[in-house]
């Protein structure tokens, strides 16, 4: 039997684990140094979730919130020699069920997830990662355990618990300064001296102070600002803090300080936000092997695809410190949800109190990170109430709205704004913002594109038709599913699973009708795979779902990017696009652009282009071709359009526009011509026989990537034939190169090297030249021989 929890149907086979109670026990010897301290704390940075703690057989305390740090005073319980520490954990499933049974006054929906998710019920009654009971992209693995560190902390006078820093703007001097906040745990109030220094500024300040339990705030130092990726640098300073009493050093700490430019209130006004959602980075948070490596790889992948923002979604966890540190370094803006998603929640006193502790702890922990630009109270809960996801009777609706306002406005919003005045707070997403507030915090239509942000999904409508998309202020969630590649699925499956209609492929799909929706959407524009060999037909089907996803998200994102500079019927000025989702937590179909293990899907390669700083996009309106130049940079640009026949690798004709100044942060129409007249000027071209590529140029070179526009669905293309593509792999100093030669036009050329981890510089591309070279960066040692043997090349015409 395969013990891997990801193997085949093991997510269901291992359900018994979460239905049991578990006990963790360890022994330790108290050091002489700790035994003489006045105060000793037993600290749990994270307990998942419902636990009782005992030390040497004596109850110390209880836990019921995965997102809280717990500390217990144990000075009097410790003894010389061996000490026994025990943590008993209750089944999260049974605990949630008991909490639901105790809530007898009214239902708090949803009771259970949809059956297709194969999940557990009542997750909204436990302060735990909400998706651990299942979601439409992941399995049900209700984890239990000590998911963060456990330690003893001991001191005589005081200890520094937390150092935070936030930016303050001094209007009088027109400069940014840092406000440093110290959170102190003291045995008693003590008078002393604080010294704060930043070597990079050659600056040191000393203060006489009283060390009181609680917070101490100090404003100091003029600093340079942190900017998002693509807009400037991400400088940091090393802040050293030392505390003295009677000239004796009682604590010393060093932390990094970065000061966020005041973009939080302006990202939807002046700078385009491009990016996507992160869910979890592991099913077993903080415990996966080489988590720091995979985190850095995923976040670097976002930056390498020209993204500058991620949303940490409310159904997962508040990420570990390393995540935010890497975002700080890479210039990734973080939209930080609080951990509430797609549900109503109870508002009993005990529940509200643990949420309050959670909010305060997390804001204190995270607010120093300039990458966090906005706090958001929940994911889709306003929309769930407004559009009646849960069939709440009209007579009961006021009760649920009162609960909603109590939790997110009266408690979470209030606490966040007390702890951090440097960032805005959104109550929900999607929301109409101020308009929602005027309507009592639950708008009649939170999806109204005139306001705030919008989530939009449509799997049945033609995703190539831009008219189906909302012209919104900010597209904060959208996407399409695809399957991962065969090399990702193979280790967790067997031969009988390798067909699109197998029990395995049905089991892994947690979105209702998801597998059928992918095929129906693909069939609108592509021939479906028809190989007689079952394995080839399966791998070709995986490929066509990725082609469909990439082209759909490309079309939608291009619509949002070109809508940034115009308002039509009161709608537009779209200043952000965050697609769902970055990564996977198991090997299954989902909306992700990166597979489990870090392999880029075709969508992520496409994102390199459609999120580029300079990029042309095309669309048709009333049989007229319109091309916009999108630019985050101010420069003079002209457009070159190449018209190709599906049968030839040389352009049928080339069209050039005149030079035009494209202002920074804008989208400008640079080309407009009826399709009929364009084709009439290009020999014997028709919609069925020809296609377009186009690029932006300045006086000396191409600016940004080349884009394409199909004049018909590829399934209707006349002259498209199966190409003969050969490849030569060569080793370079820091990577490998793959030089391709094709004898005909080849759309969606996909290079795959199986289970050799790494990524290509470009992939999934339209090949309209005889030769093209791409690089491959391997993530483990490999060779030309291994890569050559593993390399497969698929293009659209190869699957039928």
Task: Report the CATH number of the 156-257 domain.
Answer: 2.60.40.10
Lowest mean pLDDT among 195-199, 424-428, 517-521: 195-199
Specify the DSSP element, H or E, that contains 334: strand 333-337
Task: Report the CATH number of the 725-794 domain.
Answer: 2.60.40.10
The pLDDT-based confidence of 264 (bands split at 50, 70, 90) is very low
Higher pLDDT, 161 or 222: 161
Q: What is the dihedral of CA 481, 487, 491, 496, to 10 degrees?
A: 80
Output the six-digit token pair for 694: 């186009």
pTM: 0.95
pLDDT of res. 272: 61
622: left (phi over 0), alpha (psi -120 to 50) or beta: left
DSSP 76: G
> How high does pLDDT run on average in the chain?
93
pLDDT of residue 258 exceeding 90, the answer is no
Q: Three-state SS for 668?
A: strand
pLDDT of res. 270: 40
pLDDT of res. 265: 38
pLDDT of residue 359 exceeding 90, the answer is yes
pLDDT of residue 215 exceeding 90, the answer is no
% of the chain at pLDDT higher than 70 = 96
pLDDT of residue 603 exceeding 50, the answer is yes
pLDDT of res. 444: 97
The pLDDT-based confidence of 290 (bands split at 50, 70, 90) is low
pLDDT of residue 260 exceeding 90, the answer is no
- Tell me if 377 sits within 8 A of 439, measured CB to CB: no
Q: What is the Cα–Cα distance from 347 to 351, expressed in whole angstroms?
A: 6
pLDDT of residue 220 exceeding 80, the answer is no
- Tell me if 745 sits within 8 A of 787, measured CB to CB: no
% of the chain at pLDDT higher than 90 = 83
pLDDT of residue 284 exceeding 90, the answer is no
CATH fold for domain 614-716: Immunoglobulin-like (2.60.40)
Instruction: Count CB-CB contacts under 10 A for residue 237.
Output: 19
Positions marked catalytic: 380, 477
Lowest mean pLDDT among 254-263, 462-471, 478-487: 254-263
Compute CA distances 447 → 258, 382, 393, 456, whole Å. Answer: 35, 10, 22, 8
The pLDDT-based confidence of 230 (bands split at 50, 70, 90) is confident
pLDDT of res. 212: 82
pLDDT of res. 271: 46
Compute CA distances 165 → 180, 183, 194, 260, 721, whole Å. Answer: 4, 11, 16, 10, 61
pLDDT of res. 66: 98
Specify the DSSP element, H or E, that contains 401: helix 397-404
9-152 under CATH 2.60.120.260, yes or no: yes
Output the six-digit token pair for 600: 């880029």
Lowest mean pLDDT among 349-358, 656-665, 711-720, 776-785: 656-665
207: left (phi over 0), alpha (psi -120 to 50) or beta: beta
pLDDT of res. 317: 96
pLDDT digits (tens, 9 = 90+) for 557-593: 999 999 999 999 999 999 999 999 999 999 999 999 9
Q: What is the Cα–Cα distance from 19 to 667, expressed in whole angstroms?
A: 55
Domain 272-486+571-603 architecture: Alpha-Beta Barrel (3.20)
Closest CA to 538 of 492, 586, 505: 505
pLDDT digits (tens, 9 = 90+) for 117-167: 999 999 999 999 999 999 999 999 999 999 999 999 999 988 999 999 888
Output the six-digit token pair for 390: 């849960």
Closest CA to 271 of 664, 760, 657, 614: 664
pLDDT digits (tens, 9 = 90+) for 645-681: 999 999 999 999 999 999 988 999 999 999 999 999 9
Q: What is the mean pLDDT of residues 37-59?
A: 97
DSSP 600: B
Contacts with 664 (C-beta within 8 Å, 6 or more apart), sequence order: 631, 632, 633, 634
Q: What is the mean pLDDT of residues 756-771?
A: 98
pLDDT digits (tens, 9 = 90+) for 419-448: 999 899 999 999 999 999 999 999 999 999
Output the six-digit token pair for 200: 């990079």
pLDDT of res. 266: 39
- Tell me if 631 sits within 8 A of 664, measured CB to CB: yes
pLDDT of residue 1 exceeding 70, the answer is no
pLDDT of residue 771 exceeding 70, the answer is yes
pLDDT of residue 549 exceeding 70, the answer is yes
Closest CA to 780 of 766, 770, 790, 792: 790
- How would you write 453-467 as a 3-class SS string? CEEECCCCCCCCCHH
Lowest mean pLDDT among 98-102, 200-204, 697-701: 200-204
pLDDT of res. 548: 98
Q: Report residue 463: phi and psi, to 5°.
A: -70, -10
- Tell me if 338 sits within 8 A of 425, measured CB to CB: no
9-152 and 725-794: same fold? Answer: no
Compute CA distances 723 → 89, 285, 602, 795, whole Å. Answer: 60, 45, 20, 8
pLDDT of residue 268 exceeding 60, the answer is no
- Tell me if 55 sits within 8 A of 78, measured CB to CB: yes
Q: Where are the domains of the chain?
A: 9-152, 156-257, 272-486+571-603, 614-716, 725-794
Q: What is the Cα–Cα distance from 282 to 57, expressed in whole angstroms?
A: 34
């Amino acid at each position: 039997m395969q013990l891997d929890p990801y193997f085949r149907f093991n997510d269901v086979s291992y359900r018994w684990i979460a239905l049991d109670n578990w006990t963790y026990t360890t022994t330790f010897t108290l050091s002489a140094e700790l035994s003489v301290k006045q105060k000793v704390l037993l600290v749990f940075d994270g307990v998942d979730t419902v636990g009782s703690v005992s030390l040497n057989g004596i109850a110390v305390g209880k836990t019921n919130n995965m997102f809280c740090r717990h500390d217990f005073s144990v000075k009097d319980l410790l003894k010389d020699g061996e000490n026994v520490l025990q943590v008993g954990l209750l089944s999260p499933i049974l605990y949630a069920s008991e909490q639901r049974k105790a809530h007898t006054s009214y239902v708090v929906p949803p009771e259970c997830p949809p059956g297709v998710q194969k999940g557990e019920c009542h997750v909204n009654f436990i302060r735990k990662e909400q998706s651990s009971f299942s979601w439409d992209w992941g399995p049900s693995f209700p984890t239990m355990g000590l998911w963060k560190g456990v330690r003893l902390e001991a001191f005589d006078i005081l200890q520094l618990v937390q150092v935070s820093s936030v930016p303050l703007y001094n209007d009088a001097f027109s400069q940014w300064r840092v406000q440093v906040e110290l959170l102190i745990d003291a045995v008693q109030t003590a008078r002393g001296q604080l010294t704060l220094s930043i070597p990079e500024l050659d600056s040191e300040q000393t203060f006489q102070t009283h060390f009181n339990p609680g917070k101490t705030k100090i404003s100091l130092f003029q600093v340079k600002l942190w900017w998002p990726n693509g807009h400037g640098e991400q400088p940091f300073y090393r802040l050293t803090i030392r505390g003295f009493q009677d000239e004796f050093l009682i604590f010393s700490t060093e932390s990094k300080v970065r000061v966020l430019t005041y973009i939080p209130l302006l990202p939807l006004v002046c700078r385009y936000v491009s990016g996507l959602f992160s869910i979890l980075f592991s099913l077993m948070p903080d415990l996966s092997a080489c988590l720091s490596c995979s985190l850095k790889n995923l976040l670097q992948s976002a930056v390498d695809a020209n993204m500058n923002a991620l949303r940490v979604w409310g159904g997962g966890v508040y990420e570990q410190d390393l995540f935010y540190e890497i975002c700080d370094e890479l210039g990734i803006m973080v939209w930080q949800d609080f951990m509430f998603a797609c549900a109503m929640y109870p508002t009993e006193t005990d529940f509200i109190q643990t949420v309050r502790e959670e909010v305060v702890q997390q804001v204190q922990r995270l607010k120093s990170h300039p990458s966090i630009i906005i706090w958001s109270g929940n994911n889709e809960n306003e929309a769930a109430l407004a559009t009646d996801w849960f069939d709440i009777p009209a007579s009961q609706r006021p009760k649920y709205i009162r609960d909603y306002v109590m939790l997110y406005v009266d408690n979470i919003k209030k606490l966040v704004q007390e702890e951090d005045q440097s960032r805005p707070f959104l109550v929900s997403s999607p929301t109409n913002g101020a308009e929602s507030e005027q309507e009592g915090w639950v708008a009649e239509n939170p999806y109204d594109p005139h306001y705030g942000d919008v989530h939009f999904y449509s799997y049945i409508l033609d995703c190539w038709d831009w008219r189906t998309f909302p012209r919104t202020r900010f597209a904060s969630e959208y996407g399409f599913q695809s399957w991962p590649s065969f090399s990702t699925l193979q280790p967790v499956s067997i031969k009988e699973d390798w067909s699109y209609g197998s029990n395995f492929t049905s089991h892994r799909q947690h979105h209702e009708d998801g597998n059928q929706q992918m095929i129906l959407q693909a069939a609108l524009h592509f021939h479906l795979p028809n190989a007689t060999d079952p394995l080839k037909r399966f791998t070709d089907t995986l490929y066509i779902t990725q082609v469909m996803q990439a082209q759909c998200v490309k079309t939608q994102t291009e619509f949002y990017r070109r809508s940034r500079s115009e308002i039509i019927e009161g709608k537009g000025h779209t200043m952000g696009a965050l697609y769902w989702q970055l990564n996977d937590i198991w090997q299954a179909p989902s909306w992700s652009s990166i597979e489990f293990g870090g392999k880029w899907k075709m969508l992520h390669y496409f994102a390199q282009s459609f999120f580029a700083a300079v990029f042309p996009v095309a669309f048709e309106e009333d049989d007229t071709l319109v091309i916009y130049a999108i630019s985050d940079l101010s420069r003079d640009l002209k457009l070159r359009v190449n018209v190709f026949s599906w049968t030839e690798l040389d352009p049928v004709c080339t069209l050039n526009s005149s030079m035009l100044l494209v202002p920074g942060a804008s989208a400008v129409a640079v080309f407009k011509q009826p399709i009929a007249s364009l084709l009439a000027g290009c020999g014997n071209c028709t919609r069925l026989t020809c296609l377009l590529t186009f690029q932006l140029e300045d006086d000396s070179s191409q600016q940004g990537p080349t884009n394409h526009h199909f004049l018909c669905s590829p399934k209707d293309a006349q002259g498209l034939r199966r190409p003969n593509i050969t490849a030569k792999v060569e080793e370079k100093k820091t990577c490998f190169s793959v030089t391709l030669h094709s004898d005909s036009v080849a759309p969606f050329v996909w290079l795959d090297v199986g289970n050799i981890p790494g990524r290509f510089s470009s992939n999934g591309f339209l090949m309209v030249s005889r030769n093209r070279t791409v690089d491959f960066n391997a993530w483990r040692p490999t060779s030309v021989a291994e890569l050559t043997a593993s390399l497969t090349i698929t293009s659209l015409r190869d699957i039928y």
